Amino acid sequence: MPSQDPFYIIRQEIQDSLNELDTAVDRASENPQRFNLTPEELSSRRRWIGNTRRQLDGMRDTLRTATAPAPTMSAAESKAVAANDTFVTSQYSQQQAMLKRQDEDLEDIEQAVIRIGRQGREISNELSEQAAMLDELDAEVDTTSSRLKAAQKKMSEIIRKSSSNTQLVLIVALIIILVLLSVFAFM
């Protein structure tokens, strides 16, 4: 049964990993600046995914061809097959060697997809952390902005209330003294 064949199981795992990788590349392409990705890098990653899918399909087709049942033959065809038994035996051993190489290639592809998937998850986690930090910074900026507006409003009210230039000069002098004291205190 194909669903229990190790090739089909590994192929499905690789296809799932390729789908995850494809999704990660799509997400990265929505905002490539966040990931420091160029359009060429995104295109390269998409080409790699496409090539890997084609290789996987090619291996599947090769296995199907190698394991397809032989059609029923006439007597003349049976004689031709009997004459080529030696050739078929050597081809079988070559195909087994090729299947072994393909299995190794599939394992390499699977490991590469797993590594890239892990990197995608790490990037996602880092982006989440940075988004939280940006939210905190935004809240602090809003608070500081509100305080600054309140201070400006109070200063405007004080200036409005001061009717003589003497009070204004006194306020400016006190502010200068306050700034100088602050500078000397924190040096």
Cα(97)–Cα(92) distance, integer angstroms: 9
pLDDT digits (tens, 9 = 90+) for 98-142: 888 988 988 998 999 999 999 999 999 999 999 999 999 999 989
Which among 67, 60, 69, 54 is positioned nearest to 103, based on CA atoms? Answer: 60
CB–CB of 158/174 below 8 Å?
no
182 and 113 both lie in a single domain: no
Residue 56 lies in a domain: yes
Domain end among 99, 119, 136: 136
pLDDT digits (tens, 9 = 90+) for 158-172: 767 765 677 778 888
Domain end among 98, 113, 136: 136
The residue assigned the tokens 């809240």 is 139
25 and 115 both lie in a single domain: yes
112 and 149 both lie in a single domain: no
28 and 112 both lie in a single domain: yes
Residue 75 lies in a domain: no
Q: Provide the sign of the torsion angle of the four alpha carbons 39, 44, 45, 51, taken in this order.
A: positive
56 and 117 both lie in a single domain: yes
Give the pLDDT band (50/70/90) at residue 71. low
Number of structural domains found in the chain:
2
Full residue range of the structural domain in which residue 91 is found? 1-69+81-136
Q: Give the global pTM.
A: 0.36
Cα(45)–Cα(26) distance, integer angstroms: 10
64 and 2 both lie in a single domain: yes
Residue 74 lies in a domain: no
23 and 99 both lie in a single domain: yes
37 and 102 both lie in a single domain: yes
Position 68 scores a pLDDT of: 58
Work out the number of other CB atoms within 10 angstroms of the CB of residue 47: 10
Position 1 scores a pLDDT of: 44
* 42-to-32, 35, 45, 54 alpha-carbon distances in Å: 8, 11, 5, 18
179 and 121 both lie in a single domain: no
104 and 173 both lie in a single domain: no
Nearest-10 crossing angle of helices 85-161, 6-30: 30
